[in-house]
Every structure is written in structure tokens, then in C-alpha cells.
Amino acid sequence: MPLIELVVAVCLIANPDTCKEQRFQFTEHMTLTGCMLRAEPFLADWTRMHGAWKVERWTCNYPDRRERKADAAAAQTLSS
């Protein structure tokens, strides 16, 4: 089972137009479903420690998902 990454969009409470993406990798191997279940308590703790920021949205992903898509596209191009 590969590592899973929690991808979170957060914005400053005082200035909602100031947003950034945070990425967290869970150290233990889990499924995407496991990540979704662990995300809420993890984000609650993170929000308590970073009170100036508000979580706008989040998702779970494989860290190298974009790289795998690019590699697949390159391989398809080479085989054509």
C-alpha cells in the first residue's frame, strides 16, 4: 500500500483572499478511505495550532499521482 498525502487548501481568517496549499504525508501506509477518516481529527488539531488559518477544502491523494500521470502520458507518446 503506497503512502497517502492529505492536500489541504487553507485561507487566512483575517484576509480570506490569502490562501495556500498545505500537504501532509501520513507516515503509516493506508488506503484513501483511511486517509479520509483520519483527516478530520488531524485537521481539527492543525486548526487549533494555526488559529489564523481556516481549512477551506481537503482531499487525499497519492503523493506521486501527478508524476505517474505524466509518466503514463510520456510512455503512451513513445509507444505511438
Higher-pLDDT residue of 44, 4: 44
Average confidence (pLDDT) over 11-31: 90
Domain extent, residue 49, equals 5-79
pLDDT of residue 64: 74
Cβ proximity of 41 and 23 under 8 Å: no
Cβ proximity of 58 and 8 under 8 Å: yes
Average the pLDDT over each of 7-11, 59-63, 73-77 and give the range with the smallest value: 73-77
pLDDT at 11 over 60: yes
Total domains in the chain come to 1
Quick one: how far is CA 41 from the chain centroid? 15
Mean pLDDT of the chain: 82
